Amino acid sequence: KQEVTQIPAALSVPEGENLVLNCSFTDSAIYNLQWFRQDPGKGLTSLLLIQSSQREQTSGRLNASLDKSSGRSTLYIAASQPGDSATYLCAVTRGSTLGRLYFGRGTQLTVWP
């Protein structure tokens, strides 16, 4: 069974810091890995998707890397802003086109001015 772990569970930093969020998964037979953002009481918004054949993806101040062999991914947030405050969830997909996602518990990020 696929287990996804995220470290740290919570993070509080001042504005402007560069951040690293970590995600690990137990079964390296994944098709892709995704990072989502969730604001309190809201649904999820996809941030980045890395296919299993890729090493990283970038979108603006966000960069996600994937090391499938070691079962790890990191989400790097550059120059953090208060608007980045949210919970960040990592999820992996196993199986072909079924698209099942296995989620970690998330990292709750607070960026203070």
Which residues of the shown chain bind another protein in the complex (CB under 8 A)? 4, 9, 31-32, 34, 36, 41-46, 49, 51-52, 89, 91, 93, 96-101, 103-106
Nearest Cα neighbor of 15 from 61, 62, 83, 76 is: 83
- Structure tokens belonging to residue 23: 């995600």
Contact 98, 37 (CB under 8 A): no
Minimum Å gap between C-beta 104 and another protein is 5
Nearest Cα neighbor of 47 from 88, 108, 95 is: 88
Q: Which is nearer to another protein, 19 or 36 (CB)?
A: 36
Minimum Å gap between C-beta 105 and another protein is 5
Report the half-sphere exposure of 81 (CA within 13 A, side-chain side): 4
Q: Which is nearer to another protein, 1 or 83 (CB)?
A: 1
Q: Which is nearer to another protein, 16 or 99 (CB)?
A: 99
Q: Which is nearer to another protein, 11 or 91 (CB)?
A: 91
Minimum Å gap between C-beta 24 and another protein is 13
Minimum Å gap between C-beta 77 and another protein is 19
Nearest Cα neighbor of 66 from 22, 16, 11 is: 22
Amino acid at 100: R
